[in-house]
Amino acid sequence: MNYYSLNKKAPNTTFKNAVVKGLAPDKGLYFPESITPLPEDFFKNIDHLSNSEIAFTAIKQFVSPEIPEAILKTIVEETLSFDFPVVTLDKNVSTLELFHGPTMAFKDVGARFMARCLGYFNKDNTNEVTVLVATSGDTGGAVANGFLGVKGVNVVILYPSGKVSDIQEKQLTTLGQNITALEVDGVFDDCQDMVKRAFLDDELTSKMQLTSANSINVARWLPQLFYFIFAYKQLHNTHKNIVFSVPSGNFGNICAGMVAQQLGLPIKHFIASNNENNVVTNYLKTEDYNPKPSVQTISNAMDVGNPSNFIRIQEIYKNNFSALKENLSSFSFSDKETKEALATIYKEYNYVADPHGAVGYLGCKAYLKNNEDVHCVFLETAHPTKFLDVVEEVIKEKQPLPEQIQSVIHKTKVATKIGSYNELKSFLLKN
Ligand SMILES: *Cc1c(COP(=O)(O)O)cnc(C)c1O
């Protein structure tokens, strides 16, 4: 598959190049030249397919021929070595748990898939790459874990000091080996700005191959389409009109869901559930796309003021606002509403959600008000114990820590503090 730049000022390129470069030379995001629907039989026979078989069939067109099929099968199997269960709460609402991977957030899948693709492209040790990534919370841990020990790949993670949860910080600062954490005196947008500046810095890029492991990278973004098919497999025999409520920050996950829909997955509607960072909610109301600085919330992985993947969504709908509105609703919720939702979900269903999932649940509820005949699946994008302070404050019960969390909690943080772009640059040039 070849990819084109959404800025339309760079040549089309291969999957390999799109992964290794991250962004196109004209700074546009890459988008696949075509999306060919899967045969109807694939969805009819889905009950007989394993997760790996589903994923292999769904992703093949986007990566072949550059990754041979036998290798792609192995990459997919290794990436998906944990479960993606749907838990039904009542006749209208289910949740899809995406937190059973090593860092207990949905980003594990994209990070593990991308790391293995880069590992394959670097199999002869000819393409040393530095992965530079800004995180508002979960990306850092997932990328650190996914890339740990991958030959020829160095990972540098920037995170905002004091603005990620304790467990998130441990997950990204305690691994060592080829992973370095930089603690930035600032907010997530500052981290993201520094990363963007590094990609534009000719002095740096002439000395090293930089790439991004944020969802702008096609190998991180596209595998997220698997989730929607996995949920469909579990629900299609009992529920017809399935809609997804996706807690959204950079809009990579929901956009991947829309690609699954383009592949023929019968999804009736999408709901982008936002915290108070509500550029897209406002856009759907006003048709005015107005990015703003991010504000800090308890669902911190969604504290994004200018969602980078929204442009891919616009591309899927060919910039047709009314076609987009037909298929996408968006709601925004405050921290207070999110905490109330955590309490309600616990009280009514004896289910402990995390703050991001709770925003997704609220999105379902808001949509169901006018659409009673659908089954709404909200994505549980992180395990509740990653946000222990908030969850225990609301639930008023101690939460048992899963093994993945226990294994990092007593490790010692190692991070280098930086305060400016120049410090980042000299760090990169020294290493
Ligand atoms: C990253 C993240 C999100 C937002 O996903 P996007 O693809 O950026 O929209 C939501 N919840 C959690 C827990 C996350 O880590």
Q: Which residues are designated catalytic?
A: 107
pTM: 0.95
Report how far residue 140's alpha carbon sits from residue 169's, in angstroms, rounded to the nearest whole number: 8
pLDDT of 151 above 90: no
Give the model confidence (pLDDT) of 87-99 as tens digits: 999 999 999 999 9
Give the model confidence (pLDDT) of 318-328 as tens digits: 999 999 999 99
Give the model confidence (pLDDT) of 171-194 as tens digits: 999 998 999 999 999 988 899 889
pLDDT of 294 above 90: no
Q: Could you write out the DSSP letters of every residue in 95-119? A: EEE---STTSBTHHHHHHHHHHHHH
pLDDT of residue 297: 95
Percent helix / strand / coil, the chain, rounded to 5: 45, 15, 35
Write phi, then psi, for 209 (nearest 5 degrees). -85, 105
254 alpha carbon – ligand 1 mean position (Å): 9
Q: Quick check: 172 and 145 in contact, CB under 8 A?
A: no
413 alpha carbon – ligand 1 mean position (Å): 24
Residues at CB less than 6 angstroms from ligand 1? 105, 107, 137-138, 215, 247-253, 301-302, 356, 381-382
Q: Quick check: 221 and 29 in contact, CB under 8 A?
A: no
Which of 253, 312, 362 should be mutated for ligand 1, with most atoms under 8 A from CB? 253
Nearby residues of 183 by Cβ (< 8 Å), 6 or more positions away: 159, 161, 173, 415, 416, 417, 418
CATH number of the domain at 70-103+221-400, please?
3.40.50.1100
pLDDT of 342 above 90: yes
pLDDT of residue 128: 84
pLDDT of residue 125: 72
Which of 107, 221, 225 should be mutated for ligand 1, with most atoms under 8 A from CB? 107
Percentage above 90 pLDDT, the chain: 85
Tell me the domain boundaries of the chain: 70-103+221-400
Q: Say which DSSP state 239 is in.
A: -
